[in-house]
Amino acid sequence: MYGIEEGDFPASINPLTGRAVLNPSLLNLPAVLVSISNSPASARPQAGPAFAPWVFELFIGEGATRFMNVFYGDYPRDVPNIVGDCEVREGITHPNGDWIGNRVWLDENENGTQDDWEMGVGGVCVRLLDGISREVLDETSTDSNGYYAFDNPSVNIIIQFVSPSTYHFTQANIGYEDNDSDADTITGETPIIDPESTVAYWDAGLILKSEVIATPNPIVTITPTFIPSEPYVGPIRSGRLTYNQIGAMFPNSCLVYASAAWDIGEMLDACEIVYGVDSSTPNSALLTVSRLHELAEDNLNPNRPVNYSGNLFSNIVPEGGQTADKINVLYHPYNQSAWMYDLISQSYQRYTDDADGNGILHPATDRLTQRQLAFENIIVVLAEHMRYRHNQLEVDFGIGQSGFAYLFRDGKAFKIFWSAANRDWEQTTGLRRPMHFVDAKGNPIPLHPGRTWIHIVTTFSSVTEQRNGEWLVRFVPPVDPLDTPVP
């Protein structure tokens, strides 16, 4: 358990995720907030959300939403995505009772330990063998994030991981059972297992035999004219008034967007405005990670150390809650998405539509990793949307504000509250921290260690259970008439 104050987080733990980061020195730099497009559909898959500890999805008018990505502690990086010899498994695994399995991961630092920031390897063939006869009892493959599972056969078994030719197995049995590699470096097999119940820690770490230069996948509906040769985030789109409200939660943060209406731009506190190739290719506004790093360093204030603590993280699921296996999110018939809970990874996997009104959803991926987006916490925040003018709204996250919210974690839904109230630290320093989440009595509500996706909706939007375990977030837009022309 980590949180809620700064001193409760070890130096290597990100206070926005409760998990270790690759480079702890980045935690000393302020956040960079980047406006990333969600429409038109040609902007997808976006580059970067898979690395953001928090992502805010907010309504911008005409049924569209945009992503405000908080990049802090974990920056996008080169991650090879060389898959295994089987098909990358899609869909959610639903074990029938007890199960056995976990993950095949890319051991980037070759230390034999599955670090929080390391990613999975998809399409790896996995076989379940009888522990005595070696008969193949079942076969599967890993999903894009490296997860797999079998129903527990209640007999002695061996799990066989089939290494692709481009990989070799990392050293086995280093460190704790929960995060080491269990595959023999030669055979790829585990020892004989006598599984009496669910066993969720049989993993295999893979190491690339030769260095592969990972480059972002440029295959999108409309390919931008210029794709950087290094990791980048985007497509970046215009500024919105709510960005100031979010930015205020992250002191010294750098706001990045691509232009804005003249009156809106005058009110936004931007540190970088990114331009695309030309007006006919709006998806070409991209920000390299090296530049993102520079912006964070430029905004560092030695007299105001970064402190983004304030929330509690725990693997222990809060008491109560309702089953929440699926969350449908309807901002507009042309803007639909869903989150499906995956028991094996303990995260919600994102699905999105094609913005065509058909409501057909498919896995949402990140352009940099080509892996499906998965977040441990999905939070729906109900907040007042203030109208500035037509299609220009501002969500009120000011000091002292609070409201209803819904937390989805570990396949459960909890009615909670979001709060921007000042606590002792804020009152002592005069500074702000990110919004925090509490129960009805004001006690911190623990988030699952990992990343958080925050859907911002109006106070009259609805969050309801439609049927057993399936929820619907129905966005109700604010009253927003056309502006009356000035004579």
In this predicted structure, what is the pLDDT of residue 398? 96
pLDDT at 78: 82
3-state secondary structure the chain: CECCCHHHCCCCEECCCCEECCCHHHHHCCCEEEEEECCCHHHCCCECHHHCCEEEEEEEECCEEEEEEEECCCCCCCCCCCCCCCCCECCCCCCCCCEEEEEEEECCCCCCECCCCCCECCCCEEEEEECCCCCEEEEEECECCCEEEEECCCCCEEEEEECCCCEEECCCCCCCHHHECCCCCCCCECCCECCCCCECCCCEEEEECCCCCCCCCCCCCCCCCCCCCCCEEECECCCCCHHHHHHCCCCCCEEEECCCCHHHHHHCCCCEECCCCCCCCHHHCCEEHHHHHHHHHHCCCCCCCCCCCCCCECCCCCCCCEECCEEEEEEECCEEEEEEEECCCCEEEEEECCCCCCCCCEECECCCCCCECEECEEEEEECCEEEEECCEEEECCCCCCEEEEEEEECCEEEEEEEECCCCHHHHHHCCCCCCEEECCCCCECCECCCCEEEEEECCCCEEEEEECCEEEEECCCCCCCCCCCCC
**pLDDT at site 47:** 96
User: For the whole model, what pTM was predicted?
Assistant: 0.95
The predicted pLDDT at position 212 comes to 57
pLDDT score of 219: 46
Q: Average pLDDT of each block of 10 consecutive residues along the chain (487 residues)? A: 95 98 98 97 96 98 97 93 96 94 97 97 98 97 98 96 96 90 98 90 94 52 65 96 98 95 92 85 91 98 95 97 98 98 98 96 96 99 96 96 99 99 96 97 98 98 97 95 74
pLDDT at residue 211 in the model: 64
Tell me what pLDDT residue 419 has.
98
Domains of the chain: 6-78+220-474 (3.50.90.10), 99-208 (2.60.40.10)
